[in-house]
Amino acid sequence: MRLAALALVLTLAAGPARGATCGPVTLVDEATGRVVVGAEDIALDAGSGRAVISAHDRLSGNDPGGGLYELGLERLEPGEVRVRDLADGAVRRPHGIDLYEGKTLFVVDRGDGAAGSTAVRIIGLSDGERRRVESALLCRANDVAALDGERFLFTADHGTCGSLGVAAENVLGLERGFVGYFDGGAVRAVVSGLDFPNGITVDRRRGDVVVAATRGRELLVYGLADLMEGKPARRRIPLDGAPDNLSLSADGELLVALHPALWRLALHRYGLPGGERAPSRIEVLDPEGGARRIFEDDGTRLSAATVAVRWRDRLLIGSVLGEHLLLCR
């Protein structure tokens, strides 16, 4: 597996336009016949090569057409793939997700899109929804990271719920995001004062929690015990771009989706003039913090990549508004 991963890195190191074989994978919801749009996050079960895709169309108004879709990577090839919504239409605006031990899916559900409708759903892949966690602290929940089959950490990208407060934080660059914790009974904030915390992952091998600070253009690395006590990050890793979602490979390397230009992302995300395309960048960080760029695109193949997962010789990339994923080998 390490040799396969190394081969993939060497193939992609110069960017997809110079050697990598990449092709679009279009997901079609088998129940509705609709193309799945906006595959914003991907959770991977490395043991089986099974991935779960979180997607919804952010520009569709009241009909986001979202869902949670299972995808096998072993035989995946570019082209059209019919997929089934694991939530049977119950989660229309899924955001960040995490898959615990390949059996339990944690989902940030943005509800009807209004402040106060966000919850975290805990769904068994074999037995359906087990729990819906609600709290005022979840109103701006962005991503989730499971600690076990019930407890989880989450990022809140802003410190306020309402649109005016969110706009003020954005315009003034206020650092009011936080990391929260659900202990099985209650939700509480554990670390606050963060600059748009976005992706979060738990590295169980090292006992670390890694948080993407999007506007800060850095990763924050906490010891799990320190995080629970509200202590500051023990390490900050500056990045060449604004980080979005994070994923861990089977060999412990961290994959980071980066936005090279946040203003281009904003134009693209909100469908504004000049935002037809936005650049994408994927980097891999080794345990010592060294970064290797394994994918870069000006938006021609995939605009505004938000997540990447790697399994064997395959790299699967999702984006905020794309009508397809990108599969590279």
- The model's pLDDT over 46-85, given as tens digits with 9 standing for 90+, comes to 999 999 999 999 999 888 889 999 999 999 999 999 999 9
Per-chain mean pLDDT for the chain: 92
Confidence at residue 11, expressed as pLDDT on a 0 to 100 scale: 37
Q: Cβ–Cβ contacts within 10 Å for residue 283, how many?
A: 20
Spans of all domains in the chain = 2-328
Structure confidence at residue 40 as a pLDDT band (50, 70, 90):
very high
Fold classified for 2-328: Neuraminidase (2.120.10)
**What 3-state class would DSSP assign to 140?**
coil
What digits encode the pLDDT tens for the residues 100-151? 999 999 999 999 888 789 999 999 999 999 999 999 999 999 999 999 999 9
With residue 83 as reference, give the H or E element that holds it: strand 79-83
In angstroms, how far is the first alpha carbon of the chain from the final one?
Answer: 14
Structure confidence at residue 287 as a pLDDT band (50, 70, 90):
low
What digits encode the pLDDT tens for the residues 308-325? 999 999 999 999 999 999
* DSSP state string for 277-314: ---EEEEEE-TT--EEEEEEE-SSS-SSEEEEEEETTE
What digits encode the pLDDT tens for the residues 217-231? 999 999 999 999 999
Structure confidence at residue 255 as a pLDDT band (50, 70, 90):
very high
**What 3-state class would DSSP assign to 180?**
strand
Instruction: Please tell me the distance from the alpha carbon of residue 200 to that of residue 189, in angstroms, as a whole number.
Output: 15
Confidence at residue 14, expressed as pLDDT on a 0 to 100 scale: 36
Confidence at residue 114, expressed as pLDDT on a 0 to 100 scale: 83
